Amino acid sequence: MSSTSVQISSAQIRETIKLFRKAGLRECVLLWLGRREQGIQHIVEVYKPLQNTSIDYFEIPRNGMAALDRLRTQALYVVSQIHTHPLEAFHSSADDKWAIVRHVGALSIVLPNFAKSTTLKNFLREAAVYQLDDANSWNAVSSEQMADHLRITK
Ligand SMILES: [Zn+2]
């Protein structure tokens, strides 16, 4: 695995899918919080920030970001963001521009169909995964590269 890889448990993937389903027919954004240990970004919490959403839009208001100040005292950071789209999963130009995660190696993940068809089993196939490089560009992670970037543990 590369030094920028993200590791998340099956239970946290299930929690992610559950929260998206609960959001209904609206976009929803979740933040995967974690810490870096031995070069791997371990997810420790799936967090739903305060957000304004519609069928094809989400925004985290200023007080939603302010709530993240607690992360510093808990030695956590936003490892990855993940959000749903009504139809196809891709990184829109708004997604590029308004991404909350900004560190090199950050992942931004998009799920199609409001995650209605996403399961633990098909998660890595359904998810469109993008990684931020040191030139501040979001690059799609191909299925061949996936294991180096995102791993789901038991
Ligand atoms: Zn989007």
pLDDT in tens, 85-101: 999 999 999 999 889 99
Report the half-sphere exposure of 97 (CA within 13 A, side-chain side): 5
CA of residue 126 to ligand 1 center, whole Å: 14
What does residue 145 show for φ and ψ, rounded to 5 degrees? -85, -10
CA of residue 93 to ligand 1 center, whole Å: 8
pLDDT in tens, 142-152: 999 998 999 99
CA of residue 92 to ligand 1 center, whole Å: 5
* pLDDT band for position 29 (cuts 50, 70, 90): very high
Kind plus residue range of the DSSP H or E element containing 64: helix 62-66
CA of residue 38 to ligand 1 center, whole Å: 31
pLDDT at position 72: 82
CA of residue 70 to ligand 1 center, whole Å: 26
Q: Report the predicted TM-score, pTM, of the whole model to 2 decimal places.
A: 0.94
CA of residue 105 to ligand 1 center, whole Å: 19
Rounded Cα distance between 90 and 55, Å, is 16
